[in-house]
Structure 1
């Protein structure tokens, strides 16, 4: 309940003034009124403003006149506020401690939209059974629409999107579902033959685009198409792919009028200034919106302001951008149907993002940073009790539900689900990731984690505890036999908690992982981790500790030590391990793997992977159990020639690296995010296991 107390106090801080001045805004109001009443009286010129910008102007005028002596609340009435460009806030819009400026809407009905409603849509060809509809556009309508710069999105596709009844439409594409595949690269980065036979598309193909995973299953991007050779079934790209093209990898073509052939697809006919689309099945097209504004809300160098009970939709970039700001509240918002990140918030302190529903966004949910790493000054940023789902609809990888950088963000009680890639990214120090639920992530990605960090020895002090991670698997190429026309992908390749590329100094405590990918917890060569008191139920690897692959460049980690003042008193006091010599800097040393409960459902009990030195780690007091099979371990003892694959657990224990661990039925029950003991003589007391708290997950 500590996090709920923190968020409650944060919100009360914004409501602590004894008196407050109220302004009102309504789509039915007028900017010629005074904004001081929810009801219009044109005789007295009292009543609500019509636009948000007019309310902002009134507050700035009041402050400039020296009359800002009480908190201000702007009541944003129900209705849609259409923006052609972002509403921009700066220090002129700031409040003061106990004298905040709040913008409060009516939940679900106060909508801030960067969209343009399309009208006068007619059948494109009455004789066409596909029922393509056509909406006319003024050429000036789209001429100035821009998306945010993103090196991963190239080509000539429109900068805007189309939504019908708030359902995102997809650019006309081939294939209509799933993926096509590279058969053979014809050069390194621009030409390839196609595994599937492409249709003989006609018409103008000059604006065609591919969404492609060119060389692996961990990185996707978009690039333009130069030519399509239908005779030889080949594609020539207009720019180089970021990774080298590789046989069997995925792509689809889009932005082809000739591919407009199923429901939910659309195409922009630039020559005739028309939007063509095939509506979703069973819908009445009473709300057709084209996204237009790049951003909806931009806050720079402001403080003590808050936004509550508002809906943000239809931007071509991030919905909300805030930078170098302090004590800003985003509470009880809905952010959906945007092309960029929902909330992009670098270099901020004491930002609270709470109780929001973020869904159907293009390139990630919340990206936030703050604090000062050299001095380990905390950011005070809080991300609490948000529901984040379908958060990477455009870029499937490296667009996480939450990403944090800097020092001491708190990410707690969030529900993150239904993502193509990672759930949470961690960069920096002293972050707390607590009591979140994460499920159905990494659906289109390999080498992916529900909670991920990596490649820096100075990312220390991070705590990942009491999270419930469950039911996700990954996506990776399994079988490639071009000669026999076989390309097969499998639902594998993801991790629950992924401490990659020797990142070090994490505490992973009291988490519940159920069917959390191919590896529940992976320590990728890292040091000084505390992996303790976790419950892991899996048919694959529960805990996996490695030394990194042979070609791994350890200089990346060695160089990371030069980026921070690790010998300063502040750093050595908090992370004394950084001041101690490393016996072998490429070995996983200083780790504690204790009091974990491992429930294997693998048919052979194959559950653990340990590549460890004979000394230097504390492994013990764990409980491993399989109802009908022995627990099996892959192990390799570094510095020796000792190692076995699928060895019985007792064989692994005989080497005395792991001590005081037991193989007994724990009588432990898992019901969602709750753990209970099913018998009075459970052996869990032998290992000192602590039951995780029951308040994991989002509060409704």
Structure 2
């Protein structure tokens, strides 16, 4: 039987003093409601579907008066749900619309435009809507919206201020406001709405009256209805030698267990579920969470930190043999199954699945992640990883070994990352892991001294990614990396002995990635490497088995052990101990066996599966001469007629942007001729430099169709100064980049303050294209306009401007 902690004083929680040794073995739950609610008959404004099926309970009569606030998150990803309702151990849903998924934002409005590297919106918090559903909410109080307002990795809960049913616009309260703004095509749902209580499992709380309305998903007889009241169930600080064994912790309004600065404390064979924040917060040393199940958590699973970074003293905190799933149900972004900080902590033999964002997030030094299994995570974002760390070159010494990562696809199947070493993260070893159907499985974002060795990649696209971002778009972070390194005593012991590479980190151009090793890996299916050209000098790429049958025992059934005659062994590949990966049977394992299924992401809301045809631009054959001097003559360019022009007027997402540009294209069988007329803001001078993204520029991108999907994307960029470059940004090898510029003629002319023009002659042979055999060429054209600033494209790529695979085609006539 479970004790009814609802009889304790509101806001209080069990506090365990500082014993020398203690074993605690009893369940902790929050307030259990008696099974004596009364029927609720719908009144005006409620959904007819609720008639005779919704029950009500007077919470004040049961001594519950603190319901928590229905307020906006102070920043993106930060909010607490307050009082919640649980039925037979499962969280119920606050009445919402739509019942599942999200509604897409058809338009945004305002007077404060937002432009983040060409992605546009407004800061005002005014969104349009279609249909008339919000008209049902006009009399409701504290109507909330949970939305992904600008990026899919930044959500926030905001409160509606007004609903304009004539203009069909919703305005959210001005404070707090979403940091990045609001844009068309993003998505949200509305909740805390009595009129939307229209299906089993939904509830609504009238906070003024203290009346709870609930449509149970099954008969109430013999079932438990629990509401969350206590902020924390167990709180310890400065204690040692305590064991919490065989217990169920559920129904907290905040983090269930707060274990602060503890020593040799163990939480074992326990269930932690249905929390309003994290499952466990753990700090101190030599303490363990083992054999537990953590699920239905509003935020993350376990947040643990301990150890001394100055002295590199390890904490010895461990999470072992735990199953973490369905976390991040209220705060989905950056609330992982396990968050690790400090020095010398371990996550081993755990299973992570069924979660919206990352499974593990870490920072600090010398952490160890081994024998874990991950699947069906990173379901709501694309710029995210199964495991994530970033933005500090001094957080070193991590081992990621013998884990199984599989069936992770990102939001709407649009990709994500596996082990994501973001923004110059350094010195992580990714060894002996198996990655199956994971995009960008091993991701090195410009860092140093990372090792990717002895891994198996199956159907990953690509298996390995390495870039040189501090040489490009992240160049402003160069000084930040220096400051973060200098914030630690890296020239002193024990740092200088533990990380000798740091002694020379700042020598030379440390913006260049250096010391990365990719060796003795197996890549079967998918694609091999996405190593960018500027990053290649800093990568030792040796002894990898790519595209050759590795001879798995039974790949069709997920058995990736190698047969004895596998060619990988000749390269020095070491067997991976598959039998040790994942959960293991043990007296301290709270449930056994544990079976899970892969969950695939939902398709994009409101978008049909049919694919929109890519635009095709006809390029006419011309016999007359074109003089490449930047001066657009009508006799050269088919009279400069509008009906033969390519209009350049879309943003990255396909939205209309201004001012537009206009292009004309012709060919003579040997070369492609391109002219572009660029309107610009006369009040702001052209930027005449040669840096893409900062200065005004015209970009042309091509792919040789005869080379197939793996053919390199070739990029030519021309500036108002008259200079042009052939760029390797899309990953083309240097010989192809140099060849693309060979024989190219380019000229630019500044016609006036409001206009500049360019002309190109590009030999087909330089692009490796035979127009007689492949007249249809994947192509993208982009104009960078610094005054707005804006990226202005022929057709929005929803990706990098040069991504011709998401742009259109030239059709040579």
TM-score range, shorter chain: 0.7 to 0.9
2:350 to 414, 418, 433: 414
In terms of mean alpha carbon deviation, does 134-143 or 614-623 score higher?
Answer: 134-143
**Corresponding residue of 2:98:** 175
Aligned runs of 1:463-478 on 2, under 5 Å? Answer: 463-475=399-411
Instruction: Give the conservation status (yes or no) of the 8 Å contact 1:156–1:209.
Output: no
Which 5+ residue runs of structure 1 have no aligned equivalent? 1-26, 28-77, 106-110, 476-489, 626-662
Task: Give the distance between the partners of 2:42 and 2:129, measured in 1 at CA.
Answer: 36
Task: Give the distance between the partners of 1:532 and 1:540, measured in 2 at CA.
Answer: 18
**Corresponding residue of 2:520:** 595
**Corresponding residue of 2:126:** 192
Give how far 1:588 is off.
1.6
Per-residue CA deviations over 1:297-323 (Å, capped at 9, x if unaligned) read 011111111100000011110000111
2:456 to 535, 543, 547: 535
**Corresponding residue of 1:570:** 494
Per-residue CA deviations over 1:91-150 (Å, capped at 9, x if unaligned) read x4321xxxx211124xxxxx3112241543222117954222222221784433448996
Task: Give the distance between the partners of 1:207 and 1:614, measured in 2 at CA.
Answer: 54
**Corresponding residue of 1:280:** 217
Check 1:695–1:568 CA distance in 2 against 1; reply closer, same or farther (3 A cut).
same
Give how far 1:280 is off.
1.6
Check 1:362–1:211 CA distance in 2 against 1; reply closer, same or farther (3 A cut).
same
Instruction: Give the conservation status (yes or no) of the 8 Å contact 1:468–1:673.
Output: no
Task: Give the distance between the partners of 2:222 and 2:136, measured in 1 at CA.
Answer: 28
Task: Give the distance between the partners of 1:367 and 1:690, measured in 2 at CA.
Answer: 33
Aligned runs of 1:245-324 on 2, under 5 Å? Answer: 245-280=182-217, 286-324=223-261
* 1:623 corresponds to 2:508: no
Instruction: Give the conservation status (yes or no) of the 8 Å contact 1:210–1:254.
Output: yes
Check 1:523–1:672 CA distance in 2 against 1; reply closer, same or farther (3 A cut).
farther
Per-residue CA deviations over 1:369-403 (Å, capped at 9, x if unaligned) read 00000110001101100011101110111110000
Q: How many residues align?
A: 557
* 1:161 corresponds to 2:84: yes
Per-residue CA deviations over 1:232-255 (Å, capped at 9, x if unaligned) read 221111231132112111211111
Instruction: Give the conservation status (yes or no) of the 8 Å contact 1:597–1:623.
Output: yes
* 1:125 corresponds to 2:41: yes
Per-residue CA deviations over 1:278-309 (Å, capped at 9, x if unaligned) read 22257757322211001000111111111000
Task: Give the distance between the partners of 2:388 and 2:145, measured in 1 at CA.
Answer: 28
* 1:691 corresponds to 2:594: no
Aligned runs of 1:50-129 on 2, under 5 Å? Answer: 81-82=5-6, 83=8, 84-85=10-11, 87-89=13-15, 92-95=17-20, 100-105=21-26, 111-125=27-41, 128-129=48-49
In terms of mean alpha carbon deviation, does 552-561 or 181-190 score higher?
Answer: 181-190
How does the TM-score come out when normalised to structure 2?
0.65
Task: Give the distance between the partners of 1:540 and 1:156, measured in 2 at CA.
Answer: 35
Q: Secondary structure at the match of 1:675?
A: strand
Task: Give the distance between the partners of 1:511 and 1:432, measured in 2 at CA.
Answer: 13
Q: Secondary structure at the match of 1:445?
A: coil
Q: Secondary structure at the match of 1:578?
A: helix
**Corresponding residue of 1:547:** 468
Per-residue CA deviations over 1:608-658 (Å, capped at 9, x if unaligned) read 434445644321000011xxxxxxxxxxxxxxxxxxxxxxxxxxxxxxxxx
Q: Secondary structure at the match of 2:437?
A: strand
Check 1:152–1:333 CA distance in 2 against 1; reply closer, same or farther (3 A cut).
farther
* 1:675 corresponds to 2:560: yes
Instruction: Give the conservation status (yes or no) of the 8 Å contact 1:515–1:538.
Output: yes
1:492 to 389, 414, 422: 414
In terms of mean alpha carbon deviation, does 453-462 or 237-246 score higher?
Answer: 237-246
1:428 to 353, 364, 376: 364
* 1:524 corresponds to 2:445: yes
Give how far 1:351 is off.
1.4
**Corresponding residue of 1:353:** 289
Give how far 1:560 is off.
1.1
**Corresponding residue of 2:148:** 213
Instruction: Give the conservation status (yes or no) of the 8 Å contact 1:86–1:297.
Output: no
Task: Give the distance between the partners of 1:305 and 1:86, measured in 2 at CA.
Answer: 21
Check 1:129–1:201 CA distance in 2 against 1; reply closer, same or farther (3 A cut).
closer
Q: Secondary structure at the match of 2:392?
A: coil
Check 1:368–1:614 CA distance in 2 against 1; reply closer, same or farther (3 A cut).
closer
Give how far 1:198 is off.
4.2
Check 1:156–1:519 CA distance in 2 against 1; reply closer, same or farther (3 A cut).
closer
Give how far 1:529 is off.
0.6
Per-residue CA deviations over 1:541-569 (Å, capped at 9, x if unaligned) read 11111112733232332221122111112
Instruction: Give the conservation status (yes or no) of the 8 Å contact 1:153–1:223.
Output: no
Q: Secondary structure at the match of 2:379?
A: coil
Q: Secondary structure at the match of 1:545?
A: strand
Give how far 1:180 is off.
1.3
Q: Secondary structure at the match of 1:411?
A: strand
**Corresponding residue of 2:429:** 507
Give how far 1:586 is off.
1.6
Give how far 1:153 is off.
8.0
Aligned runs of 1:29-68 on 2, under 5 Å? Answer: none
Q: Secondary structure at the match of 2:480?
A: helix
Task: Give the distance between the partners of 1:280 and 1:695, measured in 2 at CA.
Answer: 40
**Corresponding residue of 2:115:** none
Larger Rg computed on CA atoms: 2
Give how far 1:410 is off.
0.8
